[in-house]
Structure 1
């Protein structure tokens, strides 16, 4: 007789415990002399990324052998495409900041079901910020419910993004003055929007499932919106787990930003 399918609460408890343990391991490497190397795409990886990834795989994939696994630091297994539930993992999002000893990184894990995240945990152990979300049950930061802000104007908004992007000469009109919040971790930027520490996040370069899945659910459950820059919803666990861009904000500011960037044609 087959074992009963895990309940949503059992998955949540497993996820939270695994991400907290991953944070403990990451802190053991944080602000120490790390072994680092480069991988494809001029991306840095450290021994901490691998250690955290291995621990998360042990704590999540082994107890759920029927779930798929997609991680930045694991060779992609196409078997995930046959699974309705998939763990989507970034062991350390913001590795460059982590390697420099800066607290702008996060462990990001989502449980994706039929293309969309249904459980999410995002943990910055350096600042002790633990974000959590579940479909239909809201989002929390350290156990306290969070919600996006009500900002509606681009001018004066707090934008979590790469500042030089807004000064590029290709823009047909200058951007209004904004407070730019620079964070190496894309997932952490989006989480800051979810808890109203930032008003929006924008990126016009390619991101991966593991950069976005957990933060997507956290932001959505906090009342915000996350799409590609042209308004398309993000679907996860596809054959090519990449997304051309991202636009994240509360509903009113989202509309204002979409009016400015929604019609852009980005280079291939």
Structure 2
């Protein structure tokens, strides 16, 4: 099913409104929750009251304005259908629950088998990332680009952890990256990890398993900022989750080799990125 530019225009304008509304709810919850008891959905899987409040608000607003669109959320699930909004109301909940301001709201709109819109907002830092397919990516309205790093000894990668995959695989990938000369870190918020690749704060992000609500917006941001990613949707990631990789073109092959996550782009990644730059300038 295809969707025309006018329909995307309407949803992009609506998305900008949603980001402000959801950010206000999350910011208020963050200020309020300090010291409160936090529920657990599973091992190292936190749930706060604000998760539910943000998701409920977003779901209700989308249903009221675009009743024909599906909805898939981390907390309530849903049926995406041919076109849908995919939402993580609070990514980085462990940070949120411990009063660490490294968390975000992630919203993607998917139609025609592709992510058309992606947005990530850190409401405490007032940082709003937005991408539209074929139109580039921005942070607070300013265009962003992935880093131009090509020297592995100068890289900073982020490697997210998932208890859905064997710990040995995670440790093995970390070890290979360290041996290659990279600095590797973990911020415990995958969506922001991807956003930081898009704006050049990190050179790459990988996780052996992520859910679609955690990563669809960030993957679009990275691609629209000139980066390369793995084939998340073609691996069945929308409903089941899949491995995630996103990186600057000059160092993506090293991250791919260490994690055994394939790249979506072709082998000449630097050349691909230069050609993309020329097309955008033209």
TM-score by length of 2: 0.80
Structure 2: which 5+ runs fail to align? 162-166, 263-282
CA contact (8 A) 1:147 1:223 kept: yes
User: Quick check: 1:133–1:221 contact (8 Å CA) kept in 2?
Assistant: yes
Q: Distance in 2 between matches of 1:187 and 1:217?
A: 11
Is it true that 1:208 corresponds to 2:206 in the alignment? no
1:224-259 Cα distance to aligned partner (Å, 9 max, x none): 1121xxxxx121895962333222101121123223
Q: Is the 8 A contact 2:235 2:242 kept in 1?
A: no
Pair 157,239 (structure 1): closer, same or farther in 2 beyond 3 Å? closer
Q: Show the counterpart of 1:184.
A: 188
Q: Are 2:75 and 1:77 aligned? A: no
- For structure 1, the 5+ residue unaligned runs are 228-232
Return the alpha-carbon distance in structure 2 between the equivalents of residues 173 and 39 of structure 1: 31
Q: Secondary structure at the match of 2:32?
A: coil
Mapped to 2, the partners of 1:167 and 1:67 lie a distance apart of 37
Aligned-pair CA distance for 1:42: 4.8
Q: 2:107 aligns with which of 109, 112, 116?
A: 109
Structure with a larger share of its residues in helix: 2
Residue 50 (structure 2) aligns with: 48
| Equivalent position of 2:223 in the other structure | 220
Q: Deviations over 1:41-65 (max 9, x none)?
A: 6521100101111111122232111
| Matched positions, count | 251
Q: Which residue of 2 aligns with 1:133?
A: 131
Q: CA deviation at 1:112?
A: 0.7
Secondary structure of the 2:129 match is: strand
Deviations 1:105-164 (A, max 9, x none): 110000011332101111001111100000110000000000001112332311122599
1:260 CA displacement: 3.5
**Which position in structure 1 is the counterpart of 2:15?**
15
- Aligned with 1:130: secondary structure? strand
Regions of 4+ moved over 6 Å: 163-167
Secondary structure of the structure 1 residue equivalent to 2:152: coil
Contact 1:119 1:135 in 2 (8 A): yes
After TM superposition, give the deviation of residue 38 of structure 1 in Å. Answer: 1.6
**TM-superposed deviation, 1:176:** 2.9
C-alpha displacement of 1:173: 8.8
Q: What is the root-mean-square deviation of aligned Cα atoms in Å? A: 2.8
Post-superposition offset of 1:20: 1.5
Tell whether 2:61 aligns with 1:59.
Answer: yes
CA spacing shift, 1:256–1:172, aligned 2, 3 Å: closer
Q: Which moved more, 1:138-147 or 1:4-13?
A: 4-13
1:100 aligns with 2:102: no
Deviation (angstroms), 1:182:
2.5
1:39 CA displacement: 1.7
TM-score by length of 1: 0.84
1:197 maps onto 2:201 in alignment: yes
